[in-house]
Amino acid sequence: MEISENERSTKPSAAKSPVLAAVVALVGIADSAYLTAKHFNGTKVPCSVISGCETVLTSSYAEFYGIPTAAFGVMAYLLAFSLALLTVFGNRSMWNAYGAVTVLMTGFTLWLIYLQAFVIGAFCQFCLISAATSITLFAIYIVSRIFRTK
């Protein structure tokens, strides 16, 4: 879909990956921003038979040192977005920094999934969306590296 695809045929994925990463990071920003806003809002949704309502978001893991967990997500996604965007605009060294950030994010995400599954005993829909975007960001980096080294 990119016109520049032929020009950069030596590293096709490395060119497309940062664009994709920036888009996915935007999804992550929107999702975690929504969770952060809800944290400050305080209005609750009712619990239904199928959805896990706010069990997770009102748990003791919903904030660390008084800062909502989701706000850390917003910062991390903003950082990942910025680094991916800088890469898109030609600053290739930023791609490695992006990789480092996504490694940390994925680690944090796995821990949050563990908490939901084994400590809290409930999952939160928007938290799982965030987990998916974090892991996708990491996967994009890994894939871009694999294709580059070949």
DSSP 8-state secondary structure symbol assigned to residue 67: E
Q: In angstroms, rounded to a whole number, what is the distance separating the alpha carbons of residues 129 and 17?
A: 20
SS3 63: strand
Q: Which of 19, 27, 30, 104 binds other proteins (CB under 8 A)?
A: 30
Question: Which of 8/146 has CB closer to other proteins?
Answer: 8
Q: Which of 1, 10, 40, 149 binds other proteins (CB under 8 A)?
A: 40
Nearest to 96 by CA among 110, 84, 104, 85: 84
Tell whether residue 8 is a contact of other proteins (CB under 8 A). no
Question: Which of 23/146 has CB closer to other proteins?
Answer: 23
Tell whether residue 122 is a contact of other proteins (CB under 8 A). yes
Dmax over CA atoms of the chain, in Å, equals 54
Q: In angstroms, rounded to a whole number, what is the distance separating the alpha carbons of residues 27 and 21?
A: 10
Tell whether residue 97 is a contact of other proteins (CB under 8 A). no
Number of chain positions touching other proteins (CB under 8 A)? 43
Positions in 56-95 near other proteins (CB under 8 A): 57-60, 74, 78, 81-82, 85-86, 88-92
Q: In angstroms, rounded to a whole number, what is the distance separating the alpha carbons of residues 52 and 126?
A: 11
Question: Which of 36/102 has CB closer to other proteins?
Answer: 36
Q: Which of 1, 43, 66, 149 binds other proteins (CB under 8 A)?
A: 43
Q: What is the dihedral of CA 144, 112, 86, 12, to 10 degrees?
A: 10
CB atoms within 10 A of CB 118: 8
Give me the residues that bind other proteins (CB under 8 A), please. 26, 29-30, 33-34, 36-41, 43-55, 57-60, 74, 78, 81-82, 85-86, 88-92, 119-122
